[in-house]
């Protein structure tokens, strides 16, 4: 949870307002999907980051495995096959940071 709060969501919350990038997208994978679905504090942080214009998606295979697809979808998170999005990003010279 600390990595989400003190790194990913913190950086995500300032990346667009400070003009670090023109576009920012955060992908949620694996057990992070379950953590986000169960943690109200993280959900509030995600909403604040979304309000800055940052997009979110989640691996639908992971969210289905954890039974949290509807919960995360209701947070405005795009449920998708994130492997496709990651591959497309890498092939199109996006800057990708993973944790």
**What pLDDT does residue 69 have?**
98
Quick one: pLDDT at residue 76? 97
55 in helix, strand or coil? Answer: strand
Place of tokens 């944790």: 99
**pLDDT value, residue 1:** 85
Residues of the chain with pLDDT under 50: none
What distance, in Å, lies between the first and last C-alpha atoms of the chain? Answer: 12
**pTM of the entire predicted model:** 0.91
Tens of pLDDT, residue by residue over 17-38, are 999 999 999 999 999 999 999 9
All structural domains of the chain: 2-91 (3.40.1260.10)
């Amino acid at each position: 949870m600390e990595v989400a709060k003190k790194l990913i969501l913190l950086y995500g919350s300032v990346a667009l307002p400070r003009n670090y990038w023109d576009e920012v997208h955060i992908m949620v994978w694996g057990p992070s999907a379950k953590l986000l679905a169960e943690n109200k504090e993280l959900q509030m942080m995600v909403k604040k980051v979304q309000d800055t214009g940052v997009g979110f998606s989640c691996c639908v295979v992971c969210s289905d495995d954890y039974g949290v697809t509807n919960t995360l979808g209701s947070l405005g998170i795009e449920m998708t096959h994130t492997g496709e999005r990651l591959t497309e990003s890498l092939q199109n010279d996006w800057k990708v940071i993973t944790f």
